[in-house]
Amino acid sequence: MIRVLIVDDHPVVRDGLRGVLEADPEFEVVGEAGDGAEALARVAATPVDVVLTDLRMPRMGGVQMIQALATQAPGVHVLVLTTYDTDSDVLAAIEAGATGYLLKDAPREDLLRAVRSAHRGESVLSPTVAGRLMGNIRKPAQAALSDRELNVLKLIADGATNKDAARRLFISEATIKTHLLHVYDKLGVRDRAAAVSEAHKRGLLS
Catalogue all structural domains in the chain, each as residue range(s) with its CATH number.
2-138 (3.40.50.2300), 147-201 (1.10.10.10)
Round to whole Å and give the CA distance between 98 and 125. 10
Helices (H), 46-159: 62-72, 87-96, 108-119, 127-138, 147-157
CA triple 11-62-29, angle to 5 deg: 50
The reported pLDDT for the residue numbered 131 is 72
Cβ contact 60:36 at 8 Å: yes
Round to whole Å and give the CA distance between 174 and 162. 9
Cβ contact 183:145 at 8 Å: yes
The one-digit pLDDT tens for each residue of the chain (206 residues) are: 999 999 999 999 999 999 999 999 999 999 999 999 999 999 999 999 999 999 999 999 999 999 999 999 999 999 999 998 777 788 889 889 999 999 999 999 999 999 999 999 999 988 877 776 666 655 555 578 999 999 999 999 999 999 999 999 999 999 999 999 999 988 888 899 999 999 998 889 87
